[in-house]
Each structure stands twice: as C-alpha cells, then as structure tokens.
Structure 1
C-alpha cells in the first residue's frame, strides 16, 4: 500500500508545482502587457535618419558565352550513307554536301510517283471524252481532275526528296560532332551532325526587373572573361527578353565585338559590366524598413517616443536600399527593425 501512495503523492506534487509556475508566468505576462498598454513600456527598435543619397546604378552579371548558332540536325529521308566528306573540326559553308546517301529507294519512289501521275492524266483524258458524250457525271470528272493534282503533288515531293537525298549543311560553321558513320543506314529523325557558328559569340545572362529597366538593345557593355581576366572585351546588347523567366529574371544576350584569334570559346564563363552616368541624389531608405516587403509600401516612422504608420511610394531597388518617390522627406526618422511588434501609436525605445 505504501508503494502505491508514494508515487501518487509525487505525481500530485509535480502537478502542483507545474500549475504554480504556469500561473506565475501568466501573471507576469499580464503585468507586462498592462505596463505597455498604460504607456509605461516601449518596444525596442532601430532607426535611421532619412536623407538623400547618390545613386550608383552600375552592376555586374555573370553568364556563359554561346555560339551565334548551335545546330544539331537530323535526317529527313531514309537511305544508306555511302560517303562522308567532313570530320569533326571541319569548317563548312551553307549548302555544302556533308555526306552522300544511296538514293536507290528514292529513285524508285520517283518512278512510282511518275507512273501514278501518268495514269491519272490518262484517266482524266478518258473522263473528259466521256463527259462530252454524257458517259460520266460532272462529279466523276471533278474527281479525276483532283486525282491528277494529287498525283502531280506526289511527284513533286518525290523529286524534292531525291534532290535533297545528300546531306547538306544548313549554316556556315564548324562540325562540332559527327554522329553517323559510313555504311550506316539512316531514317527520318536520325541525328547526323552538330554544327556551331563561332564567327560571332554572345554572352547569355539574366538580370532582375530593376536592372532590365535601364537597358536597351544596342547598349555597349564591357565584358570580362574568367580565363583572360587581364583583358577587356566589348559587346553590345542584341536581345532583351520581353517576358521574365520562371525565376522572375529577364534573359538578355550580348554580342561579343572583339575576339582576337578566337580566344573566347563557346561554353566559357564571362562577366558583363554595366556602367551608367552619375545619377542625381534621391531619398533612399534601408530595405528592412518596409513591413513585410517593398511592395507593401508600408513603413513606420519615429515621432518622438511613438511609432507612426506611414504609406509611401517605393521606386527603384538598389541592393539593400530602396528609392522613395513620395511619402518621406529629409530629416524624418524611419524605423528599420522591430516593426513586427508595432501598431500605429506604439511607444518605442530606439536602440543606439
């Protein structure tokens, strides 16, 4: 019996102690809340004096050099490769034959299409003769005419396939990869060659919304290469995406103007340096001043020993500083931290 009573008493004692602690904490919290409500307590905040600052709009962005054209093309017809005229690294021009294809099957296709066209033409002659004597209807004659047109189109397509049997380069460039071998049988969709045009390189990168707003096609840009970091390269903006990507950034392309001896290769990393004229001083505040995010346009200012809610109109974002278009003037004090505990009129205690 004693063995049972002792644990029970211990449990009751623990419960009593926990209850006392909770009640005491609740009492203290009520006392603190009452003090703040009565104006005798203050929320600790950090502040900053509003002033005009010079705006530095310069920024850099990293990207990758890419070829002006990078094409991996596939076969359109079937046949066996009888001869390949180029290898990896070969320079090619547009229209140059890269490989010859056995055209026996395509020749058969042309002959069949020719025979079908001749048969349709003879049928049309017979229908026209019979139509004049009332042997066939107008509908039958129209169908015969349609048959001739279809057969003619089939013949033209077969001839085009025969003409395009050999594989030709669609661009000027260099053979980066050869994906077929002599003697191999190819069919429509078989990958043939990878061609790249490195006569011009472009630096592909992305910028955010505040940066893209200051860019336009044709702007000159200074470029640095991670490999040749002691040299300066130049380029101009040739493309600015009209729509942001999934990361809410805007892809842009900068065409490289000078690349002596083709030092820069496609696939290398580069840095674009965007430089702008000096801007007039304007009011900016720390980004942390906003309640939630910059888009809320809501801040608190310190008026004496209390916080006052203020709505402003935010402009451009420069790193950790935000331009203020309306709602603040020089000399006012903005609260930069501690806003989570504030409402309009809350007593504050600025932390130095």
Structure 2
C-alpha cells in the first residue's frame, strides 16, 4: 500500500519541472513583444505638422484710428437791419443755394427812406445843373471883362458846392438802398438749414441769430494720429473712412491740414482731411473709423493658420529639425489668408501652420514642408 501511494507523486515531479521550464522560456519573449509595441505606439504618436517659410511681400502700411466728421462750413445767418421779421422762407433740414432768399425783415420804412433820398438827389442834380450854367455864363462875361473877378469866383464856388451836394445825395441814396436790400437775407453757401431760431412777427435787433447753415460738400474729417506715425503725415495722404450708420461702405478722402504741434496729454497730432460727399450719405457729427494709408514697405507674411493668439499675445511655433519652439511675435497687417509678422521672425525660418492647438514648446514633431500661399 505504501508503494502504490508514492508512484503518483513520482510521476508529477517531471510534469511540474516541465511547466516551470516552459514558463521561464516564454517570459523574455513577452517582454520583447511589449517593448516592440510601445516603440511602434510612440512612433505613431509623433504629430505630423505642416510647416512653411514666410513670404516676403510689399504691403501697404496703414494706421487705424477714430475721428469725427464736420461740415465744410457752418454759417450763422443774422440780420444787418433791426425790425420785425416778415417771412421765414426755409426751415430745419431744407436744402439751400447761394443767393436763395431765406428771411425777409420789414422794409416799408426803408422804402420810404429810399424814395426821400432819391428825391433829394434829383433836387441836388437840378441845383447842380443851374450852378453849372451860371458858372459858364459868368466865366464868359469875365472873359469879356463885363464882370469883376469876385463874381466869377462866386459862380465857380457855387458850382463846386452843387457838385459836392450831388455826390453826397448819391451816397445817401446808395446807403438807404443797401439798407433796404439788407432786409432780404440770402444764403451765402450751398448747403442745408441746420437750425432755425426765429419766426415771423418777432422783433430782432441788429445781428440777431436767425438760422444756421451747413455746407456738407465735402465734409471735414478730424482725427488724431499717434506720435510714432507723425513722420508719415503729409498733405495729400489717402484716408479711408467708415461710419457705423452705413455699415459695409467705405469713403475715401485726402489729408488737407496738419496741426502745428503734438498734444501733450495724448501725444497725438490732429490732422484734417476732406471727404467727398456727393450723395449726401455722410452727415456732420458722424463718428468715423479711419484708416490712413501711410505708404508701402517690404514685410514677412505667413498663413493666418500659423498665428496663435491668446490673452492679447501673438505667438508662432518655429520648427527646427523635428522640434517646435514657441515664440512671441508682433503681428501686423492682414492680406487675405496671410498675416504680417512685424517682429520676431527671420526670413529663413520655418513656421508651423497646422495643429497649433496640439503643439507645446519643445515638442517633437514630424515636419512636412508646404508652400505658403
């Protein structure tokens, strides 16, 4: 019985040894397979990134800012003669032309004064004619030695006095006629009535404000330019204007005036431009978004997909070999799908232009060079 019980144990020992040996031989094979899989996974995780070299191109250098539109001329219409207002022929918003009658002030009394001055002139002219005839007659008698010199001198003096009276009467008539004419108040400009300050029947003193007229052809644009761009400001410089009231429309004009000095508080220079307004779309008082075209300069541009903006900071990723490095830059103008890198990029460097949201500083990538367009 004891021998029979020991035989199964003897048979199990070689089997255990065989299993143990098989397990030891398979362990290195599994480790090698795992390492190979990890290497393949790591190779697959290297991100493929498109990179491109910057494009050198001439760009239009512009400066943007804000300004306001003003009327070319703003005229306060007043009266030269005091009196009661008879008629107001225009109102707020009306278009007016040069020479158009705007307001009439009472004129009856002045018409009578004109008639009296005209009568006085006619009387003076009649006296002048009589004095002239008397002078000529006495002069002839003097030459015939029929009258003494005193008589000749008296006739000559009477003629000169008559002439002076006529000249004085002519001026008095012209003055009263001018006063009468001044009761008709006409427009000195082409434009619009901005405000009306009087009504028929009101008594107005000399120089009272009756109307305000504005000329809106063209308009004036006034805008400050930063001190750093003052060197570009020249008369004739193109300027583009947009207003919130007319979205999508752009108006062009030229710089016409430049202030003599820079404002100490804002460190800016006030300039003025004329903006044509043939269709009366623009109006005085509009707030304007201004773009001043300062000239053209060479610049480096990259696709906009290569610029990363966060918290007001512009960054790009420079690809050197298989490594990308984050770099802060200064962006400039945009032209279509390209953006200028004004500072922080060399012409021979390569910039990542894809998968920027998956890149990190110092990251290893698989760069694929493409042509920037």
Do the aligned residues in 1 keep the contact of 2:96 with 2:187 (CA within 8 Å)?
yes
Structure 1 residue 245 displacement after superposition: 5.6
Q: Does 1:128 align with 2:145?
A: no
Please name the residue that 1:36 is paired with.
none
Task: Give the paired residue count.
Answer: 225
Alignment of 1:182-201 (within 5 A): 182-201=200-219
- Confirm or deny that 1:77 pairs with 2:100: no
| Structure 2 match to 1:348 | none
Alignment partner, residue 218 of structure 1: 236
Report whether the alignment pairs 1:91 with 2:108: no
Structure-1 separation of matches of 2:130 and 2:280: 70
- 1:256 pairs with 249, 268, 275, which one? 275
Secondary structure, counterpart of 2:179 in structure 1: helix
Could you state the TM-score of these two structures normalised by the residue count of structure 2? 0.51
* Aligned equivalent of 2:291: 273
Q: 1:7-156 residue pairs with structure 2 within 5 A?
A: 58-132=62-136, 133=138, 134=152, 136=154, 138=156, 141-156=159-174
Show the counterpart of 2:260.
Answer: 244
Q: Deviations over 1:234-257 (max 9, x none)?
A: 32225224x616848765332224
For 2:160 and 2:224, locate their aligned partners in 1 and report how far apart those are by CA, in whole Å: 59
1:114-148 CA-partner distances (Å, limit 9, x unpaired): 12312322332343234332152655543432332
8 A contact 2:82–2:205 mirrored in 1 = yes
**Cα-to-partner distance string for 1:304-323 (whole Å, 9 max, x where unaligned):** xxxxxxxxxxxxxxxxxxxx
Distance 1:252 1:145, change over 3 A: farther
Mapping of 1:338-349 within 5 angstroms?
A: none
Using a 3 Å threshold, how does the CA distance of structure 1 residues 89 and 257 change in structure 2: closer, same or farther? closer
Q: Following TM superposition, by how much is the alpha carbon of 1:166 offset from its aligned partner in structure 2, in angstroms?
A: 2.3
Q: CA distance change for structure 1 residues 278 and 235 in 2, over 3 Å: closer, same or farther?
A: closer
- C-alpha spacing 1:73/1:137, structure 2 compared with 1 (3 Å): same
2:190 alignment partner in structure 1 = 172
TM-fit CA distance, 1:193: 0.6
Q: For the Cα contact (< 8 Å) 1:127–1:136, is it kept in 2?
A: no
Cα-to-partner distance string for 1:271-290 (whole Å, 9 max, x where unaligned): 32222334479xxxxxxxxx
Could you tell me whether the CA contact under 8 Å between 1:59 and 1:273 is conserved in 2? yes
| CA spacing shift, 1:142–1:174, aligned 2, 3 Å | same
Q: Distance in 2 between matches of 1:251 and 1:259?
A: 25
| Cα 1:182/1:211, change in 2 over 3 Å | same
CA distance in 1, matches of 2:124, 2:201: 38
Query: In structure 1, how many angstroms separate the alpha carbons of the residues matched to 2:263 and 2:210?
Result: 35
Q: CA deviation at 1:189?
A: 0.6
TM-score by length of 1: 0.54
Q: Which runs of 5+ in 2 are unaligned?
A: 1-58, 139-151, 300-373
Match of residue 365 from structure 2: none
User: Could you list the per-position Cα deviations for residues 181-218 of structure 1 after superposition, in whole angstroms to 9, with x for gaps in the alignment?
Assistant: 11012232111111123343221235478755534443
Are 1:157 and 2:175 an aligned pair?
yes
**What SS does the aligned partner of 1:136 have?**
helix
In angstroms, what is the RMSD of aligned CA positions?
3.5
Is 2:216–2:280's contact at 8 Å kept on the other side of the alignment? no
Question: Using the alignment, how far apart are the partners of 2:277 and 2:126 within structure 1?
Answer: 65
Supply the distance in 2 between the matched residues of 1:246 and 1:147 (Cα, whole angstroms): 61
User: Measured at CA, do residues 99 and 131 of structure 1 come closer, stay the same or move farther in structure 2, by a change above 3 Å?
Assistant: same
Question: Partners of 1:101 and 1:184 in 2: how far apart?
Answer: 10
- Report the CA distance shift for 1:252/1:119 in structure 2 as closer, same or farther (over 3 A): farther
User: Which secondary structure does the structure 1 equivalent of 2:250 belong to?
Assistant: strand
Cα–Cα, structure 1 residues 224 and 121, in superposed 2: closer, same or farther, change >3 Å? same
Q: Deviations over 1:89-111 (max 9, x none)?
A: 22223322223332111102201
Q: Is residue 79–residue 105 contact of structure 1 (8 Å, CA) maintained in 2?
A: no
